[in-house]
Amino acid sequence: MSDRIGNEISVPPVADALGEVFAAAGHELHLVGGPVRDAILRRDTVDLDFATSAHPEVTQAILEEHSSTIWTTGREFGTIGAMFRGHRVEVTTFRADTYDGVSRNPQVAYGDNLTDDLRRRDFTINAMAVSVPGHEFSDPFGGLTDLAQQTIRTPGTPEDSFADDPLRMMRAARFTSQLGFHVDPAVKTAMTNMARDIERISAERVRDEFVKLMGGTDPVPGLRLLVATGLAEEFLPELPALRMAIDEHAQHKDVYEHTLTVVRNAMSLEEDGPDVLLRIAALLHDIGKPETKGIGPDGRVTFHHHEVAGARIARKRLKALKFPKDDIGAICHLIALHLRFYGYGRGEWTDSAVRRYVTDAGAVLPRLHKLVRSDCTTRNKRKAARLAADYDALEERISRIAAEEDLAKVRPDLNGEEIMTLLEIKPGPQVGKAWKHLKELRLEQGPLSREEAETALFAWAREQGIAVPGSRE
């Protein structure tokens, strides 16, 4: 049975070639974990992970002899990496680790058999192996059955597994996003009871799992699981807090449900695969609502300036999760601008307002278009159609003005050197103020002729008490 299944799994030829090298040296080699799971599911995999009976020093010697490049950054955990025949491979000695119950770092102990190694893995669907080059299939914990039933279950008790490594709780949510699987009830119970243990994990590791979840086929089930088990409360409490804020349009159960709908709407507008920054902006776009919730004179719930509060809250949370500075800037910029469009349909926007919209958005404009469209979740078909038509009109107007002017590079009609020459001043704050004034005019009026720009500069200089050389007007 195991041989038949092993032969049915599509094992890359390079894996068999590496297996022959280890066999010649007298050691077992098994393709393990994600590559086996993905091969059964007919999913592509890039990196190849192996388990071996060889200890790290032996593995390193073998790989040095047969590989173009090796790396030993994981050696203390028994892992040696290499580029073998053009493929990235990682080979880890059989492990039988124990954990200290405080950090996520294992007390490394090498094992002497494959079954013990597979027992210490996160989920049964990742605890399968195929020997190379023999293709003997090993599945001591029922991973193949769980794969068929689309179930996320741990090899041992989930309590023991999560006590060893609490990050596995987030990984369970991530797999619901990436694979569309559901968690076993016992796993969900353990996640709920042990949610606070995630505090043992570094912010960087939590962030990485969260990003992988958000980049999955459908993040929403994973997000629901994080909220339902209390895990979200530990690292992203602003998300479950949305359940307390009633949507002012009364079209959704609460802002939380509206938010999940916006995430899916944003996904539907993606063009070249998952846009994780757009998805996170969609997830966080309304997190300022609980803080700004109020009741108007007419009894309607209001969330005035929640976009400003949301951008501030998001910045603090993303910094705590150690997101890259540029990613934080882009996400918070989107949140701050996501309401700017509303009011356009009332005919209040001049060409100047359109220029400012484009200029203020800058590099995030393409994502802003998608976020604004995604934020329309009303069930009123007429209202939805009107909002969509209004945004179509705005994009067409942006295109028209962009064809006449380079909106992506709005600059004053005079540069800094020209300002200094015309006013006969040296570099300093006055030059920057003059440049900013001319840029404001450019946004308000569009391109100015050279003569118009000079006249505007001299008029501004006189207002500032700056002497205008000669008799220039």
User: From first to last of its 473 residues, what are the pLDDT tens digits of the chain?
Assistant: 455 565 578 889 999 999 999 999 999 999 999 999 998 988 877 789 999 999 999 999 999 999 989 999 888 889 999 999 989 999 999 987 555 555 555 566 788 899 999 998 999 999 999 999 999 999 999 999 999 999 999 999 999 999 989 999 999 999 999 999 999 999 999 999 999 999 999 999 999 999 999 999 999 999 999 999 999 999 999 999 999 655 555 544 489 999 999 999 999 999 989 999 999 999 999 999 999 888 878 778 888 899 999 999 999 999 999 999 999 999 999 999 998 887 665 666 777 788 878 888 888 999 999 999 999 887 777 877 887 888 888 888 888 777 655 555 566 667 888 888 878 888 888 888 888 878 777 777 777 778 877 787 788 888 888 877 765 55
Same domain? For 231 and 294 the reply is yes
Tell me: do 208 and 313 sit in the same domain.
Answer: yes
Domain end, chosen from 323, 339, 355, is at: 339
- The CATH number of whichever domain residue 233 belongs to comes to 1.10.3090.10
DSSP H or E stretch at residue 294: strand 293-295
Distance in angstroms (rounded) separating the CA atoms of residues 100 and 106: 7
CATH number of the domain enclosing 115? 3.30.460.10
Contacts 24+ apart (CB under 8 A), 81-85: 84/14, 84/17, 84/18, 85/14, 85/17
Within a domain: 384: no
Q: What is the DSSP letter of 297?
A: T
pLDDT at 251: 43
Give the CA-trace dihedral at 421, 426, 431, 432, to 10 degrees. Answer: 140
* 466 touches 423 (CB < 8 A): yes
Q: What angle do CA 325, 326, 327 make, to 5 degrees?
A: 90
The whole-number pLDDT of residue 103 equals 52
Residue 357 falls inside a structural domain: no
Do 217 and 177 share a structural domain?
Answer: yes
Q: 117, 149, 181 — which closes off a domain?
A: 149
Q: Is 165 inside a domain boundary?
A: yes
Q: Is the CA virtual torsion 320, 321, 322, 328 positive or negative?
A: negative
Print the domain residue range for 197: 160-339
Angle separating helix axes 255-268 and 365-374, nearest 10 degrees: 130
Are 282 and 256 in a shared domain? yes
Asked whether the whole model's pTM tops 0.85, one would answer no
- CA atoms within 13 Å, Cβ hemisphere of 201: 28
| Whether residue 234 is found in the same domain as residue 167 | yes
Asked whether residue 304 falls in the same domain as residue 170, the answer is yes
Q: Which of 339, 368, 402 delimits the end of a domain?
A: 339
| Residue 350 counted as domain residue | no
Give 195's DSSP letter.
Answer: G
> What DSSP line would sit under 218-234, residue for residue?
-HHHHHHHHHHHTHHHH
Distances 206 to 28, 235, 439 between C-alpha atoms, Å: 34, 8, 43
Structural domain count, the chain: 3
Asked if residue 31 is part of any domain, the answer here is yes
| Count of Cβ atoms closer than 10 Å to residue 396 Cβ | 10
Give the Cα separation of 77 and 105 in Å (integer). Answer: 9
**Residue 359 lies inside a defined structural domain of this protein:** no
- What is the per-residue burial (b if ≥16 Cβ within 10 Å, else e) of 44-53? ebeebbbbbb
| 328 shares its domain with 231 | yes
Domain co-membership, 180 together with 116: no
Are residues 319 and 241 part of one domain? yes
The answer to the question of residue 140 being in a domain is yes
- Do residues 209 and 69 share a domain? no
Helix (H) or strand (E) holding 258: helix 255-268
Residues 103 and 29 in one domain: yes
Residues 308 and 446 in one domain: no
Q: Virtual CA dihedral for 280, 285, 288, 289, nearest 10 degrees?
A: -130
Does 377 reside within a domain?
Answer: no
